[in-house]
Amino acid sequence: MPIDPNRETWKPGMPWEGALEDIDYITALGQEMGGAERVDRQHSGGRYTVRERVDKMLDKGSFIEYGPMIGAAEYDDDGNLVEFSPGAYVMGLGEIDGRPVAIGGDDFTISGGSPHNVRKHPTDFMQPLASQYGIPYIQLVEGVGHSAKSDEAKGHMGLPDGALWWRGIELLKKVPVAAGIMGSVAGAPAAFALMSHFTVMVKGQSQIFPSGPPVVKRAIGEDLNKEELGGYKTHVHESGQVDNVADSEEEAFEQIKQFISYLPNTTNDVAPRIETGDPPDRRPEELLNIIPPNRKRSYDPRKLIKLVVDNGDFFEMRRHWAGALITGFARLDGYSVGVIGSDPMFMAGAMDGWAAEKYAHFVDLCDAFNLPVVMFLDMPGFMLGSHAEKKATMRRGVRALIASAEAEVPKIEFNVRKAYGVAADAAHSLGHPNGLNLRFGWPAGEWGGIPIEGGVAAAYRREIDNAPDPEAHRLMIEERLLKLRSPFRAAHKGDVVDLIDPRETRRLACRFVKLAQPMLEKLAQKPKRIVRP
Amino acid sequence: MAGHQVNSPMTGQVIEISVEVGQSVSEGDLLIVIESMKMENEIFSEVNGTVTSIEVEEDRNISEENLLMTIEI
């Protein structure tokens, strides 16, 4: 519906009916976004428009839009509207599963989502709304930021004062912030997207970078297409810049909804309990034999986690990055928990610099949102070798340790197999020294300052070298020490609360999470740190 | 036709090569086992195709990101 230049516009003093007609008329003009041709282009690229995205995210009919009439409006001398083009942002209040959220997104059909002559920005409504009312904030980002054309229009190049960001930074301290990266995103919109607790991009459709391929080529001569430069392989698998990848926009929306579902509305609340119908005393039989007797062999750690949590529902975050460590959300007896696990199938579960960073971030996130942490540890220590050294593995490992010690949320830790050295101490430190170090051991549990194999070679080097048969001597010492590795010996000393039948894991974890609830209520009242992405 | 390169995700030692040149493999098939951090790490195929080259042999020490084999898809 293009604008009708001959239509008489309502003016003060005219009957109300005309005003109501104009509300519908101008609102409808705004709904056309950048016009039929631009909308078609959006669709033919396999992408939804921002209005379709908002519709798909929210409960039907729950959207209350801010500023549907905000736009560049021109009136003729008689006071009739002759031109209207809407602002390039859609935002408002909505509901997801009956829960209020602030939501908004760039309208890419208007100036490619770039700011133009109409001021319509999330800082005007969405961000203050989320902040003041304490509700989750969802941004669906598709824009390329500052346009050189706008400098020409303004006649000067402004010196940015940083004022663009403070509300977004405040939000990170207060409410869950989730971003869908819905297309090519650069410049300020890219930074807005990453200023989130959770980010997801769509495979093959989303890219994110400070500047896209033409600017890169001009600046450093690198000739890459946008997917190579900032697609999901670069940023979800390699750099860890973006948390998750989705196969479709629908899946991205679903991931955002899931992420939000595990968190409370603010950092001063505790996540609501949801009836899941999974009995807390369920005994997962398969847990008994999930760890292979041969300690060189792996097992599927996600299967282990899913056997324990309610209905096997585990929402994993950063699945494709820093694979030695698993982080995600689940429910136990209906209560939200953060889950940290090791993946023995990737670098044997050893903590490298990236895994340490992933650990610290996730612990910070759980601490900020008052989520108790459940751990399934099988960590042989820090990853060794030159590649790990180049990731500043120990410095980041120390950071992980500090994150643990600073966090006040309680944890329950199941030492399902290995826990060696300072790396495992990061996990052991969570909830400690401020609170109870609630640790249980499985029969496969083995732990210590250093694994026996490497430890013997280092500590008994002179004795081994001087032996008539050094290899046989080394094996003899190892044999002797192996007996010490029995988890029963540590249990006698009280290193664990108890050694348990693995099938008891769920029952204990559910009891712990229930026990933790009153404490979480108190922790929620404390001031919170910002979770830095 | 494109050559899919299988690179080592970690530094360690090749202890078993489970495929031969010319063999067709499916996604999820075991290609190679690397011992690292005292664990046997199984590397599975991410693609369907035919193994066209194997760049390592058993007992060889390898570094993270070393090319292990190429699969034509």
Single out the residue in A212, A229, A261 at which a domain terminates: A261
| Contact status, residue A316 vs residue A467, Cβ threshold 8 Å | no
Same domain, A207 and A347: no
A402 found inside a domain: yes
Q: How confident is the model at residue A146 (pLDDT cuts 50, 70, 90)?
A: confident
Q: How many CB atoms lie within 10 A of CB A254?
A: 15
**Does pLDDT of A151 surpass 90?**
no
Count: domains in chain A:
2
Q: Which amino acid is at A146?
A: H
Is residue A16 in some structural domain?
no
pLDDT value at A1 more than 80: no
Q: Which single residue is written with the structure tokens 């001398």? A: A77
Asked if A223 and A371 sit in the same domain, the reply is no
In chain B, residues with a C-beta closer than 8 Å to the C-beta of A381 are 37
- Is the pLDDT at A149 greater than 80? The verdict is no
Residue A246 lies in a domain: yes
The answer to whether the CB of B64 falls within 8 A of the CB of B9 is yes
B63–A298 C-beta distance less than 8 A? no
pLDDT tens digits along A312-323 = 999 999 999 999
Nearest CA to A510 out of A335, A326, A330 is that of: A335
Instruction: Report the length, in residues, of chain B.
Output: 73
Read off the pLDDT band of A114 (50, 70, 90). low
A234 falls within a domain: yes
Q: What is the mean pLDDT of residues A277-293?
A: 97
Token digits of residue A87: 């602002």
pLDDT score, position A288: 97
Q: Which helix (H) or strand (E) holds A418?
A: strand A411-420
Contact with chain A for residue B7, Cβ under 8 A? no
Please indicate whether residue A37 or residue A112 has the higher confidence score (pLDDT).
Answer: A37
* Interatomic CA distance for residues B52 and B71, integer angstroms: 6
Structural domain containing residue B35: 3-72
User: A60 and A32 in contact (C-beta within 8 Å)?
Assistant: no
Compute the distance between CA of residue A424 and CA of residue A409 in angstroms, rounded to an integer: 18
Residue A237: give its domain's CATH number.
3.90.226.10
Query: What range defines the domain where residue A210 resides?
Result: 47-67+87-261
Q: What is the amino acid identity at position B2?
A: A
| One domain for residues A146 and A221 | yes
**What pLDDT, on a 0 to 100 scale, did the predictor assign at position A351?**
97
Kindly state whether residues A344 and A396 are assigned to the same domain. yes
The shortest CB-CB distance from A347 to any of B37, B40, B42 is to B37
Number of domains in chain B: 1
Q: Which of A227, A261, A295 is the last residue of a domain?
A: A261
The percentage of residues in chain B with a pLDDT greater than 70, rounded to a whole number, is: 97
Give the closest residue to A308 by CA, choosing from A513, A128, A78, A46: A513
pLDDT of residue A33: 94
Of B11, B39, B64, the CB nearest to A298: B39
Domain of B66: which CATH number?
A: 2.40.50.100
CA A309 from chain centre, in angstroms, equals: 19
Confidence tier at B28 by pLDDT (50, 70, 90)? very high
Chain A to chain B, count of Cβ pairs less than 8 Å apart?
49
- Reported as type and span, the H/E element at residue A325 is strand A325-332
- pLDDT, residue A434, reads 67
Q: Note the pLDDT of residue A115.
A: 54
Mean pLDDT of the region A221-247:
97
- Residue of B37, B38, B62, B65 to mutate when probing chain A, most A C-beta within 10 A: B37
Instruction: Point out the domain boundary residue: A261, A295, A314.
Output: A261
pLDDT in tens, A434-488: 678 899 999 999 999 888 888 888 889 999 999 999 999 999 999 998 889 999 9
Query: Does residue B7 have a pLDDT over 90?
Result: yes
End-to-end CA distance of chain A: 43
Residue A4, domain member (yes or no): no
pLDDT band at A113 (very low <50, low <70, confident <90, very high): low
Q: Angle formed by the axes of helices A452-459 and A470-482, to 10°? A: 130
- Indicate whether A81 belongs to any domain: no
- DSSP one-letter string for B20-44: -TT-EE-TT-EEEEEEETTEEEEEE
| Mean pLDDT, rounded, of chain A | 94
CB B55 within 8 A of CB B67: yes
Q: Kindly report the nearest CA distance between residue B39 and chain A, in angstroms.
A: 4
Average pLDDT over residues A10-15: 96
A330-353: per-residue pLDDT in tens?
Answer: 999 999 999 999 999 999 999 999
What per-residue confidence (pLDDT) applies to A452? 87
| Per-residue buried b or exposed e for A235-244, using 16+ beta carbons within 10 Å of the residue's own CB | bbeeebbbbb
Give the C-alpha distances (Å, rounded to integers) separating A430 from A372, A409, A411, A424, B19. Answer: 10, 8, 7, 11, 44
Q: Is the pLDDT of residue A29 over 90?
A: yes
A528 occurs within a structural domain: no
CA dihedral sign of residues A7, A9, A10, A14: negative
- Mean pLDDT for A385-406 is 95
Domain match, A383 and A322 both: yes
Same domain, A253 and A121: yes
Asked whether residue A160 carries a pLDDT value surpassing 90, the answer given is no
> Does residue A271 lie within any of the structural domains?
no
The span from the CA of A9 to the CA of A12, in Å, is 10
